[in-house]
Amino acid sequence: MTIRVATAADTHYADLLCQWYIESAKQRGTGIAKRDPEYVREKMRQGNSVIAFVDGELAGFCYIETFESGKFVANSGLVVNTELRKNGLGRAIKREIFRLSRTKYPNAKIFGITTSLAVMKINSDLGYKPVTFSELTTSEDFWKGCKSCKNFAILTENERKMCLCTGMVFDDINAPLPAVEIDEDAPAIPAEMQLPIVAPM
């Protein structure tokens, strides 16, 4: 398994990843289904995403979004190849995008909303705490991303105070970063694609 920062060289995977998003949402019966391939490609060009491979095959992806001038950061769009689930890959990707977020935006609150119990468990293990929606960003850019979710009417009916998702926030900027997991059997990754290794604060 190889997990690294995605780059412009990976943009040809965007269409396939967006198809995975649609299929994943259908399987769950809830959640946000649609992503624009160009948006995914831009995250890759910015160095604001991580991409995973298993035996050279595309295995998963996740990206960073920033709001309110970097005050809030979300780790969004976690998706894993359906054939490779239940092997800890989603947890490993989430861990690395969390490390990248804290390295690039060390003073930001990292937050997310999810209906997935598995994601809640991963977030809790990383130090996230459940919060009310009032503790999350007020950015319209974030909330408009919920429009493609089948539960958007519930969110709007409750004036964005609650929905079926649980809000979670990590804001302990002094907590040590998770250690880098090294796969000794993986091929060497060029330095410019490696996730940064940062000593605990």
* Rounded average pLDDT over 36-60: 95
Report the C-alpha gap between 79 and 38 in whole angstroms: 17
pLDDT score recorded for residue 194: 44
Q: How confident is the model at residue 26 (pLDDT cuts 50, 70, 90)?
A: confident
The answer to whether 136 and 167 are in contact (CB under 8 A) is yes
Residue with the larger pLDDT of the pair 6 and 191:
6
- pTM of the entire structure? 0.81
Q: How confident is the model at residue 50 (pLDDT cuts 50, 70, 90)?
A: very high
Instruction: Give the rounded percent of residues in the chain with a pLDDT score beyond 70.
Output: 86
Residue 46, helix vs strand vs coil: helix
Q: How confident is the model at residue 30 (pLDDT cuts 50, 70, 90)?
A: low
**Identity of residue 94:** K
Q: How is 64-94 classified by DSSP, letter by letter?
A: EEEETTTTEEEEEEEEE-GGGTTSSHHHHHH
Reported as a single tens digit per residue, the pLDDT across 108-123 is 999 999 888 888 999 9
Residue with the larger pLDDT of the pair 85 and 183:
85
Q: What is the DSSP letter of 110?
A: E
Report the C-alpha gap between 133 and 22 in whole angstroms: 25
Residue 13 burial (CB count, 10 A): 19
pLDDT score recorded for residue 54: 92
Residue 165 burial (CB count, 10 A): 21
Distances (CA, A) of 196 to 40, 58, 182: 21, 21, 13
Which residue matches tokens 């997310």? 112
Reported as a single tens digit per residue, the pLDDT across 81-109 is 988 776 789 999 999 999 999 999 999 99
pLDDT score recorded for residue 32: 60
